[in-house]
Amino acid sequence: TYNGARTLKVCLQSLTKLNYPNYEVVLVDDGSTDSSPEIASEFKSIRYIRQKNFGLSVARNTGIKASTGEIVAFTDSDCRADEDWLYYLISDLLRSEFAAMGGHNFLPPEDSWIATSVMVSPGGPAHVMLTDHEAEHIPGCNMAFYKWALEEIGGFDPVFTKAGDDVDVCWRIQQAGLKIGFSSSGFVWHYRRSTVEAYLKQQRGYGEAEALLSRKHPEYFNLLGGSIWHGRIYTAAKFGVMLRRPVIYHGLFGSGFFQKLYNPAPASLLMLFTTLEYHVLVTLPLLVLSSSFPFLFPVALTSLGLSVAVCVAAAIQSEIPRKKRQFWSKPLVALLFFLQPIVRGFARYQWRITVRSMPEHVSDRYEARARSSEPPPEMLSYWSPHYVDRYDLLKEILQKLGELGWQHKTDTGWSNHDVEIFGNIWSRLFLTTVTEDLEGGKRVFRCRLKSAWSLSAKILFFTVFAVEILVVSLLVRIQPWFWMLLPTVAILGWMLEQQTKGLQYLIGALVDHVAENRGMIRLVKENILPAPAEKF
Q: Do 332 and 117 contact (CB within 8 A), yes or no? A: yes
pLDDT of residue 534: 42
Of 103-117, 208-222, 430-444, where does mean pLDDT reach its minimum?
Answer: 208-222
pLDDT band of 252, cuts 50, 70, 90: confident
- Across residues 434-450, what is the average pLDDT? 86
Q: Do 118 and 199 contact (CB within 8 A), yes or no? A: yes
pLDDT of residue 89: 96
- Across residues 340-358, what is the average pLDDT? 79
pLDDT of residue 251: 72
Of 114-118, 340-344, 482-486, 517-521, where does mean pLDDT reach its minimum?
Answer: 482-486
Residue 355 has pLDDT above 70, yes or no: no
pLDDT of residue 411: 78
| Burial of 142: CB neighbours in 10 Å, binned 0-12, 13-18, 19+ | buried
* Helices assigned H by DSSP within 438-521: 455-475, 487-517
pLDDT of residue 286: 87
Residue 527 has pLDDT above 60, yes or no: no
pLDDT of residue 434: 92
Q: E strands within 205-306?
A: 232-234, 247-249, 260-262
Per-residue pLDDT tens digits for 325-334: 888 889 999 9
Q: Do 198 and 114 contact (CB within 8 A), yes or no? A: no
Residue 366 has pLDDT above 50, yes or no: no
pLDDT band of 240, cuts 50, 70, 90: low
pLDDT of residue 242: 64
pLDDT of residue 132: 87
pLDDT of residue 536: 39
pLDDT band of 427, cuts 50, 70, 90: confident
Q: Which of 300, 307, 316, 368 is nearest to 339 (CA)?
A: 307
Of 17-31, 282-296, 362-376, where does mean pLDDT reach its minimum?
Answer: 362-376
> Where is 402: in which H helix or E strand?
helix 390-403
pLDDT of residue 320: 84
- Across residues 410-422, what is the average pLDDT? 82
pLDDT of residue 530: 44
Task: Give the list of residues 6+ apart from residue 24 with CB closer than 8 angstroms, or none.
Answer: 47, 67, 68, 69
- Across residues 90-103, what is the average pLDDT? 95
Per-residue pLDDT tens digits for 98-115: 999 999 999 998 888 888
pLDDT band of 370, cuts 50, 70, 90: very low
Residue 444 has pLDDT above 70, yes or no: yes
Q: Do 383 and 521 contact (CB within 8 A), yes or no? A: yes
pLDDT of residue 449: 92
| pLDDT > 70: percent of the chain | 86
pLDDT band of 151, cuts 50, 70, 90: very high
Residue 452 has pLDDT above 50, yes or no: yes
Sign of the CA dihedral with 115 first, then 120, 123, and 128 last: positive
Per-residue pLDDT tens digits for 40-76: 999 999 999 999 999 999 999 999 999 999 999 999 9
Per-residue pLDDT tens digits for 284-306: 888 887 877 788 889 999 999 99
Taking all residues of the chain, what is their mean pLDDT, rounded to a whole number? 84
Residue 312 has pLDDT above 60, yes or no: yes
Comparing 352 with 28, the larger pLDDT belongs to 28
Sign of the CA dihedral with 102 first, then 2, 52, and 81 last: negative
Comparing 140 with 410, the larger pLDDT belongs to 140
- Across residues 183-209, what is the average pLDDT? 91
Per-residue pLDDT tens digits for 108-150: 988 888 888 888 888 888 889 898 899 999 999 999 999 999 9
